[in-house]
Copies of this chain bind each other. A is one copy, B any other.
């Protein structure tokens, strides 16, 4: 007999719904206006249409199983969902954007994920017309399913270290694939463990006894008739992970495995079929452009991750009451009309505000920076088509650091929000645990967040050196070179903050971030060029430089976007307050850099700390509306703590009733492992007929 909670019991007053309603009434702006402003009408329409389809779907509509099951059950359901998404895409003729929305709302990593995100794009970009016909066309119809096999058990970010070999044999006109060591096993390959029958494999191309380094091949790995691994291939799943367990990350090893000549992805380089002669690829910078686009999307995704975590924590903090804020106790009207002191919503505690509100500000900061990256991507593409590559290096460097910074912010935010939800944050019903686990890999893939910063900083150091050498003119100056030049013209500058008013001055804040970034760059160039400190010993500084530069970009983009032109409705003032909050909380968090540079004086740092608390207070009435504006449906959140109407405790209880262990009066394991202990004491018992000890 399943456990049931008494239906007549309500949570203690005041109720969550009323508390959230009150928060919404207090906002200084209409959250729908902000929703429109963030996403635009077209996106919202698509989203709502697709949401209806998913919620009504017999397979995708119900997420209630997600928190209870082990990997076996969850993976099988994930396969079912992947299959169903293919079907729905066909039925509704979803384009890539629409499919992306469905994927976002369904919110579970899929075994077919890499098929769409890597297998097909690689074929499209690096395949010849013949290869596209042979592989891409059936792939689009999901008649073959592919994955992208690059990483090896012993080799992650360093592609040049890959060991798998593909040796061309002119006699058979095939490439012979081999895995020479255990560490050469392809590893972590999403979709490979169970689902894929094809793979793009990065292998060292060897021909005419020469090693040409890693190249991409398309390879059939499983029998199309029955899905069994082909002879010469050992393939399987790499086992359980911290998250992402609905995906079959897999491994593969090759032993004298023959791949036909056409498997070599030959758009840029080629192997002569008869002789095995290798032709080198023409150098193309266009690929870097695409990377900027991918990273802009990652920044926009970080925005959503930050906002989603904040949505849950903010709404729950408005409902969760605890203790009493003695300086301002909360009162409600009791049924008899008198005022009654109740516990204080934790959202009223300054510490909670300090932990959560900057995360909202980060979400908005990522929004504006992601948009600016898209704009610059298109501008740069247009330039490159005209043969002008002058933007590319700057854009690529910044986008590397921004991927690192924003995904680090996002991943930390999920965990910070989870902890800010107190005990219940630890329940999977919070909707934050699996969210964290599934998002985590983002800090490692698409460029490790530490390694990436080297690209950013290397470019910035080079820029400073070029300025010193007089190689930068007005014509080829960039945002980066301008702020570095400015610093070099006055490296002894001091921060002009005299009063709290100055701390609300966006331009002054941006200037502080400029000075700090340029200072770090200058010191690093000095350390390397003058003090001869090795690159390795500078890695910590290198990381800091990238972070400082990217925080400057975010601060600058945010300020630019909200102070310089009119916003619809009442959005202007609140977005400006959020921008100032972002600047000040970032400045406070990085205060050591600003102080060490000599730009910020100790008293000014103290002023920032104090004013930050005040700015946080000015955001307080708007925080629920600010997260509401991101418009995440309950279907996405799947969170007892964070759903829209604030029925936190009712939802906790409803989810608890579904716990499999609660379906029986006495749980499995009692007979075997508890009863024998208890019944040892039987001789001492005096039990009544209800099994109660008589005392």
Contacts and interface: CB of A to CB of B under 8 A. Distances in A.
A242 B323 contact: no
Contacts of A187: 423
A669 to B, nearest CB: 4
A456 to B, nearest CB: 14
A265 interface: no
A283 interface: no
B613 A691 contact: no
Contacts of A491: none
Contact of A143 (B86, B181, B677): B677
A379 interface: no
Interface stretch (A42-50, A66-74, A331-339): A66-74
Contacts of A194: 661, 667, 669-670
Nearest to A420: B450
Contacts of A225: 687, 691
Contacts of A79: 669, 672-674
Interface stretch (A29-37, A120-128, A247-255, A482-490): A247-255
Interface string A245-267: 00010010101000010100000
A73 B72 CA distance: 12
A375 interface: no
A132 interface: no
Nearest to A691: B223
Interface string A675-695: 111101100110100111101
A18 interface: no
Contacts of A350: 536-540
B145 A540 contact: no
A99 interface: no
B351 A539 contact: yes
A193 interface: yes
A627 to B, nearest CB: 22
A70 to B, nearest CB: 2
B68 A655 contact: no
10 closest A-B pairs (Cβ-Cβ)? A70-B70, A223-B691, A143-B681, A242-B433, A591-B592, A3-B236, A595-B595, A327-B534, A351-B539, A239-B659
* Size bin of chain A's contact surface: 35 or more
A161 interface: yes
A669 B75 contact: yes
Contacts of A685: 224
Contact of A656 (B10, B161, B180, B236): B236
19 contacts: A5-B234, A9-B253, A11-B183, A12-B181, A79-B669, A142-B678, A143-B678, A145-B674, A195-B674, A224-B692, A229-B665, A237-B661, A242-B418, A325-B536, A327-B535, A351-B450, A354-B539, A415-B415, A592-B595
A596 B595 contact: yes
Contacts of A3: 234-236
Contacts of A142: 677-678, 680
Contact of A423 (B6, B239, B354, B444): B444
Interface stretch (A152-160, A304-312, A465-473, A575-583): A152-160
A83 B674 contact: yes
Given A351-B540, A423-B445, 6 more contacts: A145-B677, A194-B661, A226-B666, A239-B427, A422-B444, A426-B441
A500 interface: no
Interface string A449-467: 0100000000000000000
Nearest to A225: B691
B228 A665 contact: yes
Contacts of A539: 349-351, 354
A12 B681 CA distance: 60
A508 interface: no
A11 B182 contact: yes
A227 B675 contact: yes
A177 to B, nearest CB: 14
Contacts of A67: 239-240
Contacts of A543: 351
A669 B229 CA distance: 16
A103 interface: no
B237 A323 contact: no
Contact of A158 (B86, B179, B262, B322): B322
A423 B188 contact: yes
A544 to B, nearest CB: 9
A495 interface: no
Contacts of A83: 672-674, 676-677
Interface string A323-358: 101111000000000000001000011110010000
Given A153-B649, A239-B429, A428-B242, A76 B680 contact: no
Contact of A596 (B253, B606, B672): B606
A304 to B, nearest CB: 21
A221 to B, nearest CB: 10
A426 B602 contact: no
A316 B591 CA distance: 34
Contact of A236 (B185, B323, B595, B662): B662
A653 interface: yes
Nearest to A665: B228
B606 A154 contact: no
Given A70-B73, A665-B229, A659 B82 contact: no
Contacts of A493: none
A692 B220 contact: yes
